[in-house]
Amino acid sequence: MNIDSDLKRIAHQEQELQFDSFDLEAAWQLGSTLRRMAAERKLGVVIDITLFSMQVFYAALEGATPDNPNWVRRKRNTVFRLFKSSYSTGLGLLKQQTNLQAKLGLTDADYAAHGGSFPIVVKGTGCIGAVTVSGLPQREDHNMVVEALAELLGKNHDELKLEG
């Protein structure tokens, strides 16, 4: 893993994986896509889609743990605060050799700079929510969300995915 190349690729993902519009039907399609992927791969994950106004999709699959919902909340809070993916935030902090507490005063109890939460962005509007997966290693959580977004938005996942 090369932090600089990953940060560049994630910035590209965040630019490409934006919606023209996003409503409850789009949330259902995205959540259902993630749930199908997880079920087919027998992954014990929690999937959450939350808009700033309310939670609009939630699923926990066999193998998920009681810790996963808390990880979802903390990663989602990071996206809601910084309007970029939790993995990008974590890699940027790693590169700077710091953490959320030292840099921004954000506690580990409420924020996590670990991969798996990605901003839901509507073109011309901005970040309206986050889609989050928890239960896999952080890079895999991030990659799963990117794969589902690419599928839903008709983008080429091979051109967007992180290498390695």
Q: Residue 149: give its domain's CATH number.
A: 3.30.450.150
Looking at every residue in the chain, the average pLDDT score rounds to 97
Token readout for 26 is 């789009």
**pLDDT tens digit sequence for 88-131:** 999 999 999 999 999 999 999 999 999 999 999 999 999 999 99
Asked whether residue 40 is assigned to any structural domain, the reply reads yes
> What percent of the chain has pLDDT above 70?
99
pLDDT for 125 equals 97
Q: Is the pLDDT of residue 164 over 80?
A: no
Q: Is the pLDDT of residue 40 over 80?
A: yes
pLDDT for 137 equals 97
Q: Is the pLDDT of residue 141 over 80?
A: yes
* Domains: count for the chain: 1
**pLDDT tens digit sequence for 53-70:** 899 999 999 999 999 999
Asked whether residue 164 is assigned to any structural domain, the reply reads no
Asked whether residue 16 is assigned to any structural domain, the reply reads yes
Q: 126 in helix, strand or coil?
A: strand
pLDDT for 46 equals 98
Asked whether residue 60 is assigned to any structural domain, the reply reads yes
pTM for this one? 0.97
pLDDT for 67 equals 97
What residues make up the domain containing 23?
3-159
pLDDT for 21 equals 98
| pLDDT confidence bin for 163, thresholds 50/70/90 | confident
